[in-house]
Structure 1
Amino acid sequence: MSLHITPVSPALGARIEGVDLSQPLSAAHHAQLHQALLDHQVLFFRNQPLTPAQQARLAAHFGDLHIHPIYPNVPGQPEVLILDTAVTDLRDNALWHSDVSFLETPALGAILSARQVPPYGGDTLWASSSAAYEALSEPLKRLLDGLSATHDLNKSFPESRFAITEQDKARFEDAKRRHPPRSHPVVRTHPVTGRKGLFVNEGFTTRINELPDAESDAILKLLFSHSTQPQFTVRWQWQQDDVAFWDNRITQHFAIDDYSPQRRIMHRATVLGDAPY
C-alpha cells in the first residue's frame, strides 16, 4: 500500500499517512519512507504510539543506532534517549543545532516520539540546510566551499550544567575523552542526493578553522542567522504520540522552550551516518 505524502512547507517537511510504525516495515514502505526523507528532509506522523523497543526497531531499519554520551536512556533500551524536562536541563535543545555533529560520523537522522506534551507550546522548528546554502550569493558560496569548522560537545554540554554530581562528573569526563572536537566541511554534500548544504550550527560549531578568530566569528554569525530564516523552516505543533523523522545531514532544528512549568517528555532514537564531505 502506498503512503499518502502531504508537504507542509515549501522548504521542507511532509506529513505521512498510511503506515503503522509500530509494526516491522515492509520493503515497500521502507523504500517509500527513505525516498520521502530524501525529498522532504523531515517527515511527520500523527497518532503513532511506540514502545521504546518498537522505536529502536524502526530506527534500525535505516542504520546503526547511537547511544548518547550525556543524556539518560530508557532502561533496557539504551539506543532510545529520554528528553524529559522534569529530569534534565534541556536548554541545549532550545537553540539551532544538528544532532551530535561533534561525532566523527554524525547522525544520518533521528526518530523522535512524543510521549508527553504540554497542551500548547513546545513546538519544534526544522530548517533546511540545503535551501539556506542555495540562497547564498555565488561569491559567498565560493568562499565557503573548501573551508572546515570545528564541532565541540562542550559548547552545548558545559560542565557547569552536566557535571553536577560525582556520578555525572565521571560520565561527563568519559564523554569528553571519547568525543574530542571534530572538524567537518562548512558545506556538506549529501551522500545520496548530492545536494549541498551548510553544515555549521549554533549548538556545536565553535570556529571556522582556516580563518582568523574575528573573521570566523563574523562568518559563523552570518551563517547561523541566514540559515534559520523563516522561509527555510517548518514548525511542528506536537500532539501526544506524534513521531518525527528527520535527515540530520541536511537539516538543523530548534525545540522551543516556552512551556515551563509544564512537563514535556520525548524519546529519541538516533541513526548514525557517515563522515561528512
Structure 2
Amino acid sequence: MTAIAVPTAPVLRDHRIPADGLYEGVRVLNRLPEGWEPRPYERFEVVPQGRTIGAEIRGVDLSRPLGDALHAELNRALLEWKVLFFRGAHLTSGAQAAFARNWGELETNPLLARGATEEVVRFDKKDPTAPTFENVWHTDVTFRERPALGAVLQLREVPPFGGDTMWADMAAAYDNLPQEVKDRIDGARAVHDFIPGFSRFYPAERLAPLQEQFPPVEHPVVRRHPETGRKMLFVNTSFTTRIVGWDRAESDRMLRLLFQQAHVPEYQVRFRWQAGDVAFWDNRATQHYAVADYAPHGRVAERVAIAGDRPQ
C-alpha cells in the first residue's frame, strides 16, 4: 500500500527584528476625535496640507479684529487641523501679538532673544554656522508648569532654499502605539527640564541662574486635550528626562520609543515658507522641527507664544 504524503506547513527561518523600533505598515490616521462631527467652514476657505495635520487658511485678514464668530471658527480649525498656515500675511510685530492674544495671555521667555516687545521672540540667524534651536523634534516650553497653548510664527526673511518647518500630530502618534505600550504609559508621569534642550546652545553660566525660576516639573506621558478630550503623547526629546517611578534603563528605553513617533511621515506636515507667511499651531497637540538645511544663507523669524493650561 502506497503511503499518502501529507503536506507540511512551510517553515520560515528566524526573522526577528530588534524590538522598540518604527516599522512599515498600515497606520490609523484619524484627523478628528471620536464622535467629533465635521462641519463646513463658513468664513474662510480651508486647503488641507496633510491627511491629519496642517491646513492653509484663505480669506482671513489677520491684521484686523477677528470678532467672536470668526475667532470661534478659526479655533475649530485649529483643533481639527492642529496647525494653520496663512500665506502673505506680512504682519507687524504688534499685529502678530494682537492676533495671538485672541487665544489668551502671551508668554515671555528669558531664554530666547527678544524682538520688538517682551512677548515677541526673534530668531535671527544671519550666521548659518551658529547653533540655533533647530534640527530637533520638540513641543515648546514643556518645562513650564503651564506649557504654551500655541504659538504664532512669522518668517521675516527666508533663504532661497530650505528652512522649512515640520509639525507632527501627536494624537495620531498615540493612536498607533501598540496596545501593550498604551497600557504601560496611560497614567504615567514624566519629568520635564529646560536644561537638556538649552544646554546644547548655551553655556552653564547662562543657564545656572535660571534653575530656580524653572525647576523640573512633572506632566502626564499621555495628556488629554483640554478642548477635544483626545489622548496625545506629551513627551519630547528636548525637555523630557525620565518617567517617574520607573527604573532608569526601563524609562530610557520607553522614552526612546515614544520620541521616535514624531518621525513617522504619515503624522507630519511640512511647510515651505515665503516671507510674510504665518503659521499658528496647537502646541498641546503637536511637535515641530525647524530644518537647518539652508546654509550659507540666513533666516529670520518672529514668534509669539500663548500661555496654556496645566496638562491633565
Alignment TM-score > 0.5, same fold: yes
Aligned equivalent of 2:141: 100
| Matching of residues 227-246 of structure 1 within 5 Å | 227-246=262-281
Letter in 1 for 2:155: A
Aligned equivalent of 1:79: 119
Aligned equivalent of 2:222: 187
Q: CA deviation at 1:163?
A: 3.8
Deviates more, 1:174-183 or 1:259-268: 174-183
Aligned to 1:254, what secondary structure does the other structure show? strand
Q: Distance in 2 between matches of 1:257 and 1:185?
A: 30
In structure 1, runs of 5+ residues without a counterpart are none
Q: CA deviation at 1:226?
A: 2.2
Q: CA deviation at 1:267?
A: 0.3
Aligned equivalent of 1:268: 303
Aligned to 1:106, what secondary structure does the other structure show? coil
Is the Cα–Cα contact under 8 Å of residues 169 and 287 in structure 2 kept in the other structure? yes
Per-residue CA deviation, residues 54-112 of structure 1 (Å, 9 max, x unaligned), is 1111111001100012111114x110100111379554332000000100000000000
Aligned equivalent of 1:64: 105
Letter in 2 for 1:26: G
Aligned equivalent of 2:20: none
Aligned equivalent of 1:146: 187
Letter in 1 for 2:188: L
Residue 256 (1) aligns with residue 291 (2): yes
Residue 15 (1) aligns with residue 50 (2): no
Aligned to 1:114, what secondary structure does the other structure show? strand
Q: Distance in 2 between matches of 1:242 and 1:274?
A: 27
Letter in 1 for 2:252: D
Closer, same or farther: CA 20–134 of 1 in aligned 2, 3 Å: same
Is the Cα–Cα contact under 8 Å of residues 117 and 265 in structure 1 kept in the other structure? yes
Closer, same or farther: CA 240–192 of 1 in aligned 2, 3 Å: same
Identify, as 1 or 2, the structure richer in helix: 1
Is the Cα–Cα contact under 8 Å of residues 262 and 287 in structure 2 kept in the other structure? no
Residue of structure 2 aligned with 1:212, choices 226, 247, 254:
247
Identify, as 1 or 2, the structure richer in strand: 1
Letter in 1 for 2:260: S
Closer, same or farther: CA 90–251 of 1 in aligned 2, 3 Å: farther
Aligned to 1:56, what secondary structure does the other structure show? helix
In structure 2, runs of 5+ residues without a counterpart are 1-41
Per-residue CA deviation, residues 183-225 of structure 1 (Å, 9 max, x unaligned), is 1000000000000000000111111112111111111111111
Residue 134 (1) aligns with residue 169 (2): no
Aligned equivalent of 1:6: 47
Deviates more, 1:82-91 or 1:97-106: 82-91
Is the Cα–Cα contact under 8 Å of residues 127 and 298 in structure 2 kept in the other structure? no
TM-score, length-normalised on structure 1?
A: 0.93
Aligned to 1:92, what secondary structure does the other structure show? coil
Structure with max Cα Rg: 2
Taking only aligned residues, the RMSD between alpha carbons, in angstroms, comes to 1.6
Closer, same or farther: CA 205–142 of 1 in aligned 2, 3 Å: same
Aligned residues: 270
Q: Distance in 2 between matches of 1:8 and 1:200?
A: 25
Is the Cα–Cα contact under 8 Å of residues 142 and 192 in structure 2 kept in the other structure? yes
